[in-house]
Amino acid sequence: MKDVKFAITDIETTGGGIKGNKITEVCVLVVQNGEVIDEYSSLVNPGTEIPLYIETLTNINDKMLADAPKFSEIASEIDRITKDCVFVAHNVNFDYNIIKAEFNNLDLSFQRKRLCTVRLAKKLIPGLFSYSLGNICTSINIPHTDRHRARGDCEATVTLFQRCLDLDPEYEVFTAFLNQRTAASYLPPNFKNSDFEKLPTSTGVYFFKDKDGIPLYIGKAKNIKSRIKSHFQEKSNRKYKLMQATYSIDYELTGSELLALLRESALILKYFPEFNKAQKKVSRPYTLTSYHNQKGIEQFVIHKNKVSPVSWMKFYTREEAIKFLEYICQEFELCPRYCGLQTGVSHCSHYKITSCSGMCKGEIDKAEYNHRVSKAVDYINQYENSCLLVERGRTKAEKAFIYLKKGRYAGYGYVENSDDFNTDQFEDYLVPQTNSSYADRIVNKYLNTKKNVTRLELNPVEEVEERETEEWFG
């Protein structure tokens, strides 16, 4: 790395993640050809109080910073000393993004090439128990005074950086890191670039895991690799903390987007990962029911929080319910007024449906109208039948299926296209699953909004026999 200048930097802050974190101290030591050729350090007035735990850690307090310059007063000096340099820090994305945010707050741009001494040390000094700056310095005998102060940490980072240079005489590792044009520049400090490159671009669920292999976050994606890369690039405090805790990423391919949603929901309920926001409590569903009104007309109605002797179907949003009612009203030539789509009117004047059957005006016989309603109910009943929803598989050579037992999610499986598969054999391929209100909602939305669903009906004799409770946890 002859003649290349490296601005080795350390900052102290008010604490927290990246967003809203303010600098309280900064030190920059510029290294070229193994020598420090320029330096700058200063306390910084953050314009806010220092939390007690930060004061205890750094010994920087409000009184010390009262007369210190604000970042706006030193921004030009930080820009000057780091200009035309590679920005280097221990866990570089933290220092770099906070400094960049300080410049952004001043409507100024800050763009530098970055190099992380954590990643350098992991590559060139493998096998250490910990790669925190303090532990590395202890492990390889680097002097480290004034810990958790910008100057002391920066000087230790310079020594570590020089050790890494000595271990890479041909600059192969340095060059590779500097020339990265992929998500590797955003990778969590404990995550390997080679592991990222192995991630698939297919549909499925993925797991961010801690050093013990415990899931920290579970998500689903149509393109797993692309979605994970977007996580690396997010700057929220929550995402920053997740990235710092992540040591590995695992995945499970599903092929089907519907199955990815169902697996994500089931796995979150199984592991309750720390960084997943708790699944929203599914509200009491809207129920589609029907009754004979005083005129002898069979009438549909949507209600919530009421008990009724007949319950045809459930919806988890009113919009889904209305959309479905509009469909059956048009499909079976019914009357919007008697489908619960209009109230307080004597004759239909629906904004969307113009093909009213005329029941509201007495233009059709009640028996004929009720027969149409009966046909609509027969159609609705298919949603409560046991069936297989056939979906895209993980490869072109297979198909996925989702098993609905009496309309409720009960498992999934995969079959090869070449297999002589018929519905009375599906249990041989089935991975049983427990249903949940979340799964109910996912399946309901899919059936109510998805067009061209491939659905294989099952006769009662073809259904899987009841299993012991513990067998239903996949």
Three-class secondary structure assignment of 148-164: CCHHHHHHHHHHHHHHH
The pLDDT value recorded for residue 105 is: 93
Is 39 a domain residue?
yes
> 132 Cβ partners below 8 Å, 6+ apart?
none
Residue finishing a domain among 354, 383, 412: 383
Single-letter amino acid code for the residue at 397: A
Is 458 a domain residue?
yes
Element counts in the chain: helices (H) and strands (E): 15, 16
Scan for tokens 């926001």, then name that residue.
Answer: 277
Q: Are residues 130 and 266 in the same domain?
A: no
Is 202 a domain residue?
yes
Q: Which stretches of 167-214 are DSSP H helices?
A: 172-178, 193-197
Q: Are residues 11 and 127 in the same domain?
A: yes
Calculated CA dihedral for residues 259, 265, 267, 270, nearest 10 degrees? -140
Total structural domains in the chain? 4
Q: Are residues 98 and 54 in the same domain?
A: yes
Is 134 a domain residue?
yes
The pLDDT value recorded for residue 461 is: 39
Q: Are residues 373 and 461 in the same domain?
A: no
Q: Are residues 89 and 11 in the same domain?
A: yes
Single-letter amino acid code for the residue at 166: D
Low-confidence ranges of the chain (pLDDT < 70): 1, 180-186, 278-283, 305-312, 344, 350-351, 383-384, 419-421, 459-474
- Are 326 and 302 in contact by the 8 Å Cβ rule? The answer is no
Is 99 a domain residue?
yes
Work out the angle between the directed axes of helices 318-331 and 437-449 (0-180°, nearest 10). Answer: 40
Q: Are residues 161 and 36 in the same domain?
A: yes
Q: Are residues 369 and 389 in the same domain?
A: no
In angstroms, rounded to a whole number, what is the distance separating the alpha carbons of residues 180 and 161?
Answer: 19
For the chain, the maximum distance between any two Cα atoms, rounded to a whole number of angstroms, is 97
In angstroms, rounded to a whole number, what is the distance separating the alpha carbons of residues 110 and 75?
Answer: 10
The pLDDT value recorded for residue 470 is: 32
Residue finishing a domain among 237, 271, 305: 271
Is 369 a domain residue?
yes
In angstroms, rounded to a whole number, what is the distance separating the alpha carbons of residues 275 and 349?
Answer: 49
Q: What are phi and psi of 206, to 5 degrees?
A: -135, 155
Find how far residue 46's CA is from the centre of its chain: 32
In angstroms, rounded to a whole number, what is the distance separating the alpha carbons of residues 408 and 243?
Answer: 37
User: What domain range is 302 assigned to?
Assistant: 286-383
The pLDDT value recorded for residue 181 is: 58
Q: Which stretches of 144-303 are DSSP H helices?
A: 150-166, 172-178, 193-197, 224-233, 237-245, 257-271
Scan for tokens 């016989």, then name that residue.
Answer: 365
The pLDDT value recorded for residue 471 is: 33
The pLDDT value recorded for residue 330 is: 84
Residue finishing a domain among 218, 238, 271: 271
Q: Are residues 332 and 244 in the same domain?
A: no
The pLDDT value recorded for residue 58 is: 93
Is 185 a domain residue?
no
Is 276 a domain residue?
no
Q: Are residues 21 and 161 in the same domain?
A: yes
Q: Are residues 341 and 367 in the same domain?
A: yes
Q: Are residues 23 and 152 in the same domain?
A: yes
47: left (phi over 0), alpha (psi -120 to 50) or beta: left
In angstroms, rounded to a whole number, what is the distance separating the alpha carbons of residues 54 and 15?
Answer: 7
* Helix, strand, coil in percent for the chain, rounding step 5: 40, 20, 40
**Burial of 235 by CB count in 10 Å (0-12 exposed, 13-18 middle, 19+ buried)?**
middle
Scan for tokens 């009943």, then name that residue.
Answer: 381
CA-atom Rg of the chain in angstroms: 31
Q: Are residues 170 and 207 in the same domain?
A: no
Give the number of other Cβ atoms within 10 Å of residue 43's Cβ: 19
Q: What is the DSSP annotation of 38-90?
A: EEEEEE-B-SSPPPHHHHHHH---HHHHTTSPBHHHHHHHHHHHHTTSEEEET
Q: For strand 5-13 and strand 86-89, is the pairing parallel, antiparallel, or unpaired?
A: parallel
* 198: CATH: 3.40.1440.10
Q: At 398, which helix (H) or strand (E)?
A: strand 398-405
